[in-house]
Chain A
Amino acid sequence: MKPDCWLDCRVLVTVGTGGVGKTTVAAALGLAAARAGKSVLVMTIDPARRLADALGTGPLDHEARAVPEERLRAAGVTGEGSLAALMLDTKRTFDELVERFAPDPAARERILANPIYRNLTDALGGSREYSAMEKLRQMHVEGRYDLIVLDTPPATHALDFLDAPRRLAGFLESQFLKVLLHPAAVVGRASLRLFRTGSELVLRALERITGLEFLTSISEFLLAFEEMLGGFSERAREVGLLLRDRACAFVLVTGPDLQQAKSAESFWERLQAEGVQLAGLVLNRAHVWPGAGDAPRPDASEAERAIAWLSGELAARAPELDAPRSARALVDATRAQAALARRDAGVRERLAAALPLEPEAIRTVPLFSEDVHELEALARMAGLILAEPARA
């Protein structure tokens, strides 16, 4: 997919391992879409305050906060374009679900007060991914935005958030849960014996290990959720469909490190297996050669020639400076830059060969000297991702 078509999607999802700059890329894509006149929401998981400062939204939270108009104008947004951001909050997402779908106030209170619920929604694994998907579904259904950019939780090898809806549905439909949900199953050992299923055997064994109380708490929690469970499965399926829709596309974000590139390749395999659409790849924080042409080989004799010439020139023009030392330091720095630029170009070629993307769908964003946290820098990044022709 050509980069200028990325913004025509309804949902763009940035994926990648931790530390590659997904959140920044998501924000830059959002800004680019706003500059193209769209109404955009960026959903992030990263509580980076400087990003919030740059956007001028105040601290990000669970509600969409609009970027003030004067900031948008300064970042080149004209006309209809708008940009809002929110930070995913797992506990709040679950609380809202309970408040909206609990059958009655008593059930609502029971769920909210259940110790398993209180801890599980916030602290235990997997809930972040569920809640990200749930919030995405909500915002999509509300239909207030032309484009939603979703910044996903970092993952190393699996796309947990893609699995989450399906896992949840499987969980809710499992026979095991039905046994667990049956009140008789947990009132005591005597009742347990009434069940002669495999699941019952499993439960009994578990009870020996975890203690009856823990199973009871879990069961109470699940019972309290029972009325809402059908809705959960249904919504999990809806999210699955949305993510596989043609209006939704994924942008892989990677750094130029070989490990990161390998992760990007395995991400691509997973995305392909899931049947979702890959828009393109952003190779972020790449070293680029600042001189003319391609980065030269950083070989030693070449460097010595460069040092000798530079030292002579400096000595002639500024005798007060330590020319030999300055020349050596400068050429060493340049040599290091050339080596990194060559390495990163190699990684780019590797990715281009491994991923079925048109050359222009692989975008290189150079490592900026400073962190990207000003709106101006985001705008610069947006320009690199979407406007300029691809270069190695």
Chain B
Amino acid sequence: MLEANETDLLAQLLSRRLLLVTGKGGTGKTSVAAALGRLAAQRGVRTLVVELGHAAVLPDLLGAAPPAAGADALRDPRPAGPNLFTLRLVPEEALLEYLELQLRVRMLARGIVGNAGFKRFLEAAPGWRELITLGKLWHMATRSDAGGAPLWPLIVIDAPATGHGLSLLSTPTVILDTVRLGPLRRNTDLVQALLTDANQTLVLTVTLLEELPVNETLELRARVRELGLGLGPVIANGVEPPLELPDAERVLERVAGLDARAAPSPLADPRALCASARHKLSRAHMHAGFLAKLERETGGLPRVLPWLEGGVDGPDGVGALARELERALSASGGGEAPAARERRA
């Protein structure tokens, strides 16, 4: 297991093979996964950022080049800058690839996947998407290049949100409970060995500092631990900078007494000033409470990423978030909000 207060958590993370980024929906998992990939690549680690399923968000987010001529758009990772690649892992395609590998006859594999009855079976049959996804990740994580070095020293996965994420991670356990012998058992054993080796695989949980995401994060981490996987830090994302207003109550009392009609600008409207300040103060209070709760219950400092005014919807935003991530992961006990750091400096 990872030591929660490593002085250089970043180096610890980058020494792993698989980093799974998950958390409650809406917490910014995808942005964090993209930023982590960008940061790893900047640190000289050849990195593949994988998104799962049918959404194709990462190429735009990372600013990936369009697929090269002759590249297989569904199977070949797209370069997104030095050391950085991205791939969308589609279960149907991975299944076809796997069948081709196993049966060694491409036509037969295509015949199976194209079989109408099999298609309907696959549409409803539970579990295989998770299994083939993990199988493909294992395959990529264990491949070597011509010189014998790992083809992908680091794979960052934008994993599904809590519920589906846990389904994904628990699938090997289910299979191993059910299947005692045969190739499926052997393959699943290999996948499980990779997933449950904390020196190779860690699960990072992204949260917002609000009640529901925090509670869900704590439950998620408990379940991940039960499944035997190693946990990385909690990453508190989108944390608004606090309002630095000494004597806040007295100041606000005075502001409330000002005459709105005398204000030279709508930005000086006393009602707006008071409401905006109170909103910020109470959110900061709430954030502090949840930071403390996370620290208490996980035994480690959450790493705090600030809310970015420009948003994270392209390579620039990802770059900015990667810088924040570097700060949050490198600093010893880097749980401080940026404002606190600025004040000290």
Contact = CB atoms under 8 A, between A and B. Distances in A.
Contact of A290 (B27, B126, B272): B272
B286 A171 contact: no
B64 interface: no
Interface string B245-287: 1110011001101101011111111011111111110110010
B258 A125 contact: no
A338 B25 contact: no
B163 A298 contact: no
Interface stretch (B5-13, B78-86, B181-189, B197-205): B181-189
A201 B111 contact: yes
Q: Which of A172, A173, A293, A337 has the most CB of B within 10 A?
A: A337
Contacts of A210: 179, 182-184
A125 B283 contact: no
Interface stretch (A15-23, A96-104, A275-283, A384-392): A15-23
Dominant SS among interface residues on chain A? helix
| A127, A179, A310: residue with the most chain B Cβ atoms closer than 10 Å | A310
A306 B265 contact: yes
Query: Is chain B's binding surface mostly helix, strand, loop or mixed?
Result: helix
A309 B263 contact: yes
Contacts of B265: 296, 302-303, 305-306, 309
B297 interface: no
A93 to B, nearest CB: 15
A128 interface: yes
A119 B177 contact: yes
A39 interface: no
Interface residues of A, number: 91
Contacts of A208: 102-103, 183
Interface string A198-218: 110110011011111110010
A290 B271 contact: yes
B129 interface: yes
Interface residues of B, number: 87
B26 interface: yes
Given A19-B27, A337-B276, A371-B286, A211 B174 contact: no
A177 B267 contact: no
B313 interface: yes
B272 A337 contact: yes
B243 interface: yes
Contacts of B244: 329
30 contacts: A49-B215, A115-B177, A120-B127, A123-B170, A126-B126, A170-B123, A170-B124, A175-B117, A177-B117, A180-B121, A198-B111, A199-B117, A209-B99, A209-B184, A211-B184, A214-B178, A290-B274, A296-B266, A302-B266, A303-B265, A305-B264, A306-B265, A306-B267, A310-B273, A322-B247, A326-B245, A329-B244, A330-B255, A334-B273, A370-B282
Given A124-B167, A157-B55, A290-B279, 7 more contacts: A156-B53, A171-B123, A205-B99, A205-B103, A205-B112, A211-B179, A326-B246
